[in-house]
Amino acid sequence: AQRVTQPEKLLSVFKGAPVELKCNYSYSGSPELFWYVQYSRQRLQLLLRHISRESIKGFTADLNKGETSFHLKKPFAQEEDSAMYYCAGGSQGNLIFGKGTKLSVKP
Amino acid sequence: ETGVTQSPTHLIKTRGQQVTLRCSSQSGHNTVSWYQQALGQGPQFIFQYYREEENGRGNFPPRFSGLQFPNYSSELNVNALELDDSALYLCASSLKGAAGELFFGEGSRLTVL
């Protein structure tokens, strides 16, 4: 079965520390993978997608097919990065989401 | 540009009743997807509509049904409500062919008593 796993429910770091939010996937074929973010009192929104290989708000994510992972990284966390982060896989709107990781960046 | 809007924002029903949730897609978007998000879980795909037809369905029973209208707005209907249907229902619009970029509404919070 296709699955997206985020092993951490909560990740707490201090401002300026590196951040890595883990995501592992189980998929047949070549998955399209995404990170979505939900800031406090805002709607769920796309942060980045693996096919773009882009950096958004300092975040990057590399698809590692050998480890079936798509971890989200940022070298220096900011307080405004505090949010709920969801890893998702799939295509064309039919996405499978992980359970999410709450990132808390402390001053 | 108008974003995705959903109504109602909150509602309470009793077991066995029926509910209709509504969604207006973002301007220019032709595809609508519905997701169920239970407390502490990620969104779970219910189904997608494109050109007024169902275009993919997740693991949900037939009592979950939907419609898409010519203006691309959409409805989610749930019959014979069960306690486990209590959740946040999210609507997301997109352009057909856009690689997974969904634009979400704020959701409709359904409580089934």
> Can you tell me the mean pLDDT for B23-45?
93
Query: What are the percentages of helix, strand and coil residues in chain B, rounded to 5?
Result: 5, 50, 45
pLDDT tens digits, chain A, 107 residues: what are they?
789 999 999 999 999 999 999 999 997 777 789 999 999 999 999 999 887 778 889 999 988 888 999 999 999 999 999 999 999 998 766 899 999 999 999 99
Q: How, if at all, do strands A45-49 and A19-21 pair? A: unpaired
Phi/psi of residue A19, nearest 5 degrees: -125, 135
Q: What pLDDT sits at residue B99?
A: 61
Q: How many CA atoms lie within 13 A of A59 on its CB side?
A: 26
Nearest to A51 among B41, B94, B99 (CB): B99
From chain B residues 56-75, the ones with a CB under 8 A of any chain A CB are 56, 58
Whether B42 and A46 lie within 8 Å, measured CB to CB = no
> Can you tell me the mean pLDDT for B80-95?
96
pLDDT band at B1 (very low <50, low <70, confident <90, very high): low
Beta carbon pairs, A and B, within 8 Å:
68
Q: Mean pLDDT for chain B?
A: 93
Above 80 in pLDDT, residue B89?
yes
